[in-house]
Structures are given as C-alpha cells and as structure tokens.
C-alpha cells in the first residue's frame, strides 16, 4: 500500500473528475476546493487528462469543452496551460453567455420587447401608488420614458452588440445583466437552443462556481437535470469563498446527484494560518483543511483599537512594526512588502491617495465596473496613453516616447507623418510640439490636474479624445465643435426629461458627464496610483480583487465606522459587539444570508490569502468585547491579541499584547 503524502492526499478528487469527463458516460460533479487547495491545478489536470481519442472525437464533430473562469487573467492562464488548443473554449461567464446568444437578433428582440413591457408595467403600477413631487416619483417617470423610448426603437436595430469587458452604450448595445438573463432564458425555455448547446459542448466546466450569477447558474442546473447523461456540468469552488451576493447561496445543497470530490489540503498557508481559517468557518459549514507537513508554524495576530480617537495611519504603522518584531521578519516594516486588504475599494483609494479620482467614477452604474477593474475606455486615455508618455519623457527614453505615440497618436501614423504640405508642420513635428507643451505642465515638480492635461492633449491632438471626456474640455478647445454636436444631440433628451423640475434626477448621460467633470479635477499623480491599484501592483487590495491570490505577509483591516455600505458586512456584529439587525433576523427566518454569514465569508477570503504571517487590524467601539470573543471561542490565544489604549493612543499598546 502506497503511503499517503501531502502531494497525493487529494489525488482521488482529481481521479473522480477525470472519470466524469467521459463522452460515453458524462457525469456532472461539484469539486469542493477550499483556500489554497490547488483548484486551478485540478482543472488543469482534468483538461490534460483527456485522452487522445476523446480529443480526436471532439475535433471531428466540431465540439468544444467550455471552460468558464472568473476573470480574464484566469482565462489567459488556463489558455496558456492548455497551449491555446482551440478544442478548449476558455472564457469569462459574460463572454460565454454572449457566445451563446450572439447573432440571435430576432430572439433577442422578442425577449427585450417582452422584458421591457413587463418592466414598464411594474413601474407604472408603482407610479400610480406613488406620491407626486417626490424624488422617487420623478425617477419612475424618467425610467418609464427611457424604457418606452427603447421599446419603440427596438425595430430599428439590425444587430445587437455587446462588449463583455467594456461599457455598452448606444441603442443597439446590451447590458451585462441582460446578456446573462437572455442566456438563462434560452437555456430553460428554448428546446432548439438547448440542443444547439448540447451539440456544441459535452462538458461545461465552471471555475469559482459559487460566484456565477444566480440566474445563469440556476438555468445551467435546470439544463443539466433535463439532459443528464448527455452533458457533464463541472463546478469547481467553495461556497465559503463566495464574494458577490448574486451568486447561488445554497449551491452545495443543489448538487445532491452530482459526484462530489473534495480536497482536504491547503498548500498555501502555514499551519497557524490554516488553523485560524478553520476556526473562522467552523461554525458555518464545518469543513476543515490540513496544512502541509513542510509548512509548520506561521504567525497570526489581532490588533484592536477604538474606532473613535485612533490615528489609523499610526496604528497600522505600529501593527507593521510589531509584526516585524514578532515574526523577526524586517520586511513587515516596509508597507510595500505587506498586502493590506480592505473590505471596500474606497478605503484602499483613501490610503493610496487617489480618492478624488475614485469617488466620482465609482458611482454611476455605467462607469463603476469598468473603472474599478481598469477597463473603462475613457480612463485608458490617461492610464495607457498620457501616463506612459509622461513617464518616458521624465526618464529621457526617446524610444518609449515614440512607441507610445506610434501606438495611439494620429499625428505619427502614415497619414499624419506625410501631412507636411502647404507650410504645415509634419505630424512628427506637431507631435514633438505637443509633447513639449504637455511636459511644461510638470515643470518645477508641478502636479497638474487631469483636466489641464486633457486640454493640452486635445489642443495638440496628441491622442483621440474619448466621447465621454469631450464635455470636460474648455469651450475654446479645437474639438469644441464636437462638443457642440454632442450637446445638440442631447438637448432634446434633456428637454424631454424636464431637468428644471424640482427634485428631478439627471438622466444617465448627465450623471456620467458630471462624474467625469468632477474626476478630471483630480491631480494627475493620482492616475499612476490608481493604475498600480487596478493592476495589483500596490500594497492595497480588496476581497473582490484578491480571491485566488496569495501573499507572504497580509494585513486585513476591518473598520465598520469607515464602511460606506453598511449592509455589506459588519465585523462588530460577527464578534458580538452589536446584535443582528431586524433586517438580518428577518432574513435568517426565511433562510436568507445574514450579516454574520456574509462577514464571515469576507473574513475567510481575506485571511486565507496569507502564506507566512497574518495581522488582523480591527477598529471597534468595544475592543474588549472582541478580544473576549476571539479568546473564548478558541480563535486566538490571549497573547495573540494586541490592544491599543482606550483613547486610541499607542503608549500602552505594547504592554497589552
């Protein structure tokens, strides 16, 4: 009998998955894979384990294996691991949903017509019960007007468009939620559509399945039941690591007929961190992990301070210094070497110093997703055009300067370079003049606003100006006629919506313009800080952005007092400082997720990013109550909790560790 080792302990789970991926007898499965268990490795083994006969059969019949990942980065990694073999269709969930419905213009039109009519009827019913003159009353009027106009124009659309990673504007564009709803609808209601999917995909594998939108996941589960034995739906994930509320909360309870392999190992973290993670989830689903034998030790500390009166920057610096002393790891003293995780992005933005840029653009629905993940097209003018140009100029790198210009400036394309007739400057000369004018803004260590930078870029036509930014330009800008055209086009819409009425709510276009107008007043230096954050090159992150990642040193900041979205989580409720709210009690009574459950999940996700050492910084109105909770429930030993003085000062903190 072969001895079981850390490397082989979970081999049975991988073997089960390979057995499920059979063209003759496909079987659906749900793989439980906790933090650091090697879930992506299991997916890779499953794909690599397909025999030559299976792959040959798939290619012969033009069939593919759908591999749905959580992020574009994950999709790129899986694609690389399978050597870009076209038999594997690796996509994010939105891209996959769009691939199912793209080109079905009449079907989409019919669904939208029915959907809009239903939504208008709902708004009308609420409107009739509403009170005139209120903000809600005005919003419903505008929403109905917008939906009615869209409904009337559906017949004019020749083909619907959609950008999975971008923002979707224009009358022919579908929104992210609509694409998911459409795919779910056809999967459950159209037998023809179901047969097309069956013919195309014998296996549909979904990574991070706990965060797949509830609507689409329920449709896929229904589809699997209806066609069991003809398709294998492979789900990989961990319900404790569900980040978003639109995931299927009871997914693990909906797959009773699936094969259910489970992974026991945590290959990422040292033993003390694994023990702490096990304590966090012990009162939830009870699942526990094993640490590797070659990863003993590790450090976990909790630092408690009053939420009022504490200098947070000083306390967090004190935390890093104490962790350096306790772990004998001097890298803890370097903020850049510690991954600091917050529950909300705005907390990270404040600590990194790009709040003036972040706050306006993170609010409008049509901007916030693209801005938060770095794909907002208008923002890329600053991050991927101007910033690299300024950086190249500051370092004296002429080759990098020309590369940036060639990549995006119309002045140095073939047409621009040849434009040296009739006494006009050539494109190259104009580009040099534009770059020189731009760099004068930064002389004497000046930090110009993004608006100033935008004006110079437009004046010298260094790069094309995105449409959303045109209203932010001065009236005497060379592209002012374009602005006038836009305002003329929006005029009838603004008049129709009667924005002069009391308590009127601006239409989406006005809200977007207002957001950009405010954002471009931010200092240009904030662009670099923002880019470092979205590209995960900063020491700060959020629970949404770091799932699946790992770091040697992690500091988690829990600060209910500075949380803007009060319903998102409450660490003080989890740790017994505050009782469950009436709303949470009501949710619990009908089987819905409570604040405690949601907070526990977020704490688990952030704390399990740590490999070597973990510091949890908690600000509370009752630090002593939290300390009692942690010690009495066996989460922490008494000497693992460090408390600041009652007034938030640090003088006594070292004495109370």
Q: What is the pLDDT of residues 402-422, one digit of tens each?
A: 999 998 898 887 655 555 444
What is the rounded CA–CA span in Å between residue 34 and residue 477? 55
User: CA–CA separation, 34 vs 265, rounded Å?
Assistant: 8
Residue 232 phi, psi (nearest 5): -110, 120
On whether both 364 and 461 belong to a single domain, the answer is: yes
What pLDDT score does 225 carry?
96
Cα–Cα dist 619/624, whole Å: 11
Q: For residue 611, which phi and psi values (nearest 5 degrees)?
A: -95, -50
Domain termination site, one of 487, 521, 555: 521
> How far are the Cα atoms of 307, 318, 646 from residue 653, in angstroms, in the given order?
15, 9, 10
Domain contains 332? yes
Tell whether 532 is covered by a domain: no
Q: Are residues 343 and 369 in the same domain?
A: no
Shared domain check, 369 and 501: yes
Element (H, E) at 237: strand 232-237
Query: Which long-range CB contacts under 8 A does 158-166 form with residues at least 24 apart?
Result: 158/105, 159/103, 159/105, 160/105, 160/108, 160/109, 162/98, 162/102, 164/92, 164/94, 164/95, 164/98, 165/72, 165/92, 165/94, 165/95, 165/370, 165/373, 165/375, 166/370, 166/375, 166/377
Whether 614 contacts 554, CB under 8 Å: yes
Q: How far apart are CA 273 and CA 114, in angstroms?
A: 52
Q: Which residue, chain included where needed, has tokens 């801005």?
A: 371
Task: Give the number of C-alpha atoms closer than 13 A to the C-alpha of residue 341, restricted to the C-beta side.
Answer: 25
149 in a structural domain: yes
Q: Which of 404, 376, 380 is nearest to 390 (CA)?
A: 404
Contact 342, 540 (CB under 8 A): yes
d(CA 495, CA 524): 35
Domain C-terminal end among 229, 263, 297: 263
- Please give the pLDDT value at position 647: 64
Instruction: Give the model's pLDDT for residue 584.
Output: 76
3 within some domain = no
Q: How far apart are CA 533 and CA 539, in angstroms?
A: 8
Contact call for residues 17 and 42 (beta carbons, < 8 A) = yes
> Which CATH number do you get for residue 250?
3.40.50.300
Query: How many structural domains does the chain have?
Result: 4
Residue 449 falls within a domain, yes or no?
Answer: yes
End-to-end CA distance of the chain: 49
DSSP characters over 607-622: HTTEEEEEEEEEEES-
- Same domain membership, residue 479 and residue 580: no
Backbone angles phi, psi at 397, to 5 degrees: -95, 90
Whether residues 467 and 608 share a domain: the answer is no
Verify that 259 and 408 share a domain, yes or no. Answer: no
Q: Is 361:367 a contact under the CB 8 Å cutoff?
A: yes
Q: Is residue 64 part of a domain?
A: yes
Phi and psi torsions of 542, nearest 5°: -125, 170
Report yes or no on 407 lying in a domain.
yes
| Residue at which a domain ends, from 263, 298, 329 | 263
Question: Which residues lie across from 117 on neighbouring strands?
Answer: none
pLDDT at 542: 61
- DSSP letter (8 states) at residue 385: I
**Are residues 396 and 501 both part of a single domain?**
yes
Residues forming beta bridges with residue 66, ordered by sequence position: 89, 204
The backbone torsions φ and ψ at residue 66, rounded to the nearest 5 degrees and listed phi first, read -80, 125
**Binding-site positions:** 33-40
Determine the distance from the C-alpha atom of residue 67 to the mean position of all C-alpha atoms in its chain, rounded to a whole number.
Answer: 19
Binding-site positions for ATP: 33-40
Same domain (yes/no): 183, 293: no
Please give the Cα distance from 169 to 11 (Å, whole number): 48
> Quick count: other Cβ atoms within 10 Å of Cβ 627?
21
Residues 196, 48, single domain; the answer is yes
CA–CA distances in Å: residue 632 to residues 50, 509, 575? 50, 54, 11
Q: Both 364 and 507 in a single domain?
A: yes
From the number of C-beta atoms within 10 Å of its C-beta (0-12, 13-18, 19+), residue 418 rates as exposed
In whole angstroms, what is the distance from residue 451 CA to residue 456 CA? Answer: 9
Contact (CB, 8 A) for 375 and 165: yes
Q: How many CA atoms lie within 13 A of 617 on its CB side?
A: 25
CB 143 within 8 A of CB 136: no
Distance between CA atoms of 234 and 66, rounded to whole angstroms? 10
Provide the 8-state DSSP code for 131: -
- Parent domain of 299: 271-354+539-656
**Which of the residues in the chain have pLDDT under 70?**
1-2, 135, 165-170, 414-426, 479-510, 542-548, 564-568, 646-657
- How far is the C-alpha of 569 from the C-alpha of 217, rounded, in Å? 24
Claim to verify: residue 92 and residue 197 sit in the same structural domain: yes
Q: pLDDT tens digits, residue range 338-386?
A: 999 887 777 778 888 898 998 898 888 778 777 877 778 889 999 999 9
Q: Are 217 and 248 spatial neighbours (Cβ–Cβ below 8 Å)?
A: yes
* 109 and 93 within one domain: no
**Within a domain: residue 2?**
no
């Amino acid at each position: 009998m072969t001895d079981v080792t850390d490397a082989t302990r979970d081999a049975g789970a991988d073997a089960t998955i390979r057995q499920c991926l059979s063209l003759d007898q496909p079987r659906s499965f749900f793989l439980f894979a906790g933090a650091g268990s090697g879930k992506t490795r299991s997916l890779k083994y499953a794909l690599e384990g397909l025999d030559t006969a299976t792959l040959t059969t798939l290619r012969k019949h033009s069939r593919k294996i759908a591999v749905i990942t959580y992020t574009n980065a994950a999709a790129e990694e899986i694609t690389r691991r399978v050597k870009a073999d076209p038999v594997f269709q690796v996509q994010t969930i939105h891209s996959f949903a769009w691939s199912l419905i793209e080109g079905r213009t009449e079907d989409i039109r019919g669904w939208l017509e029915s959907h809009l009519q239903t939504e208008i009827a709902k708004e009308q019913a609420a409107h009739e019960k509403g009170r005139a003159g209120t903000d809600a009353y005005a919003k419903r009027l505008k929403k109905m007007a917008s939906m009615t106009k869209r409904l009337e124009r559906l017949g004019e659309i020749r083909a619907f468009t959609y950008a999975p990673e971008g923002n979707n504007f224009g009358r022919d564009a579908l929104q992210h939620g609509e694409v998911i709803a459409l795919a779910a609808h056809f999967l459950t209601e159209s037998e023809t559509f179901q047969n097309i999917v069956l013919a195309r995909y014998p296996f549909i594998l979904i990574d991070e399945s706990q965060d797949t939108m509830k609507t689409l996941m329920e449709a896929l589960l229904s589809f699997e039941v209806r066609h069991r034995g003809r398709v294998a739906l492979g789900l990989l994930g961990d319900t404790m690591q569900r980040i978003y509320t639109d995931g299927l909360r009871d997914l693990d309870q909906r797959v009773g007929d699936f094969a259910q392999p489970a992974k026991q190992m945590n290959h990422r973290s040292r033993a003390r961190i694994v023990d702490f993670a096990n304590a966090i989830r012990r009162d939830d689903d009870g699942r526990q992990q094993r640490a590797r034998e070659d990863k003993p030790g590790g450090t976990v500390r909790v630092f408690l301070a009053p939420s009022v009166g504490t200098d947070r920057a000083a306390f967090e610096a004190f935390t890093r210094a104490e962790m350096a002393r306790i772990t004998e790891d001097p890298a803890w003293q370097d903020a850049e070497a510690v991954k600091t995780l917050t529950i909300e992005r705005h907390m990270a933005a404040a600590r990194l110093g790009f709040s003036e840029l972040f706050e306006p653009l993170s609010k409008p629905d049509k901007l916030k997703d693209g801005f938060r993940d770095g794909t907002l097209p208008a923002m890329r003018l600053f991050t991927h055009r101007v910033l690299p140009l300024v950086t190249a100029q500051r370092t004296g790198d002429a080759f990098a300067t020309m590369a940036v210009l060639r990549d995006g400036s119309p002045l140095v394309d073939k047409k621009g370079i040849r434009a040296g007739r009739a006494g006009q400057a050539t494109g190259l000369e104009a580009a040099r003049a534009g770059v020189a004018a731009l760099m004068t803004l930064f002389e004497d260590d000046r930090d110009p606003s993004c608006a100033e930078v935008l004006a110079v870029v437009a004046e010298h036509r260094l790069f094309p100006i995105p449409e959303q930014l045109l209203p932010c330009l001065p009236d005497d800008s060379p592209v002012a006629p374009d602005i006038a055209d836009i305002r003329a086009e929006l005029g009838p819409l603004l008049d129709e919506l009667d924005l002069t009425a009391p308590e009127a709510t601006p239409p989406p276009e006005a809200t977007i313009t207002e957001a950009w107008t405010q954002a471009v007043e931010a200092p240009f230096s904030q662009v670099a800080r923002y880019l470092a954050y979205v590209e995960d090159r900063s020491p700060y992150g959020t629970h949404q952005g770091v799932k699946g990642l790992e770091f040697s040193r992690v500091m988690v900041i829990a600060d209910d007092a500075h949380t803007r979205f009060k319903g998102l989580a409450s660490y003080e409720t989890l740790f017994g400082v505050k009782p469950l709210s009436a709303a949470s009690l009501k949710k619990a009574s009908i089987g819905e997720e409570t604040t405690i459950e949601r907070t526990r999940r977020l704490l688990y996700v952030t704390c399990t990013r740590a490999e070597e050492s973990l510091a949890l910084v908690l600000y509370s109105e009752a630090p002593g109550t939290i300390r009692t909770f942690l010690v009495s429930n066996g989460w922490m030993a008494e000497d693992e909790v460090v408390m600041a003085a009652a007034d938030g000062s640090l003088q006594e903190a070292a004495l109370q560790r």
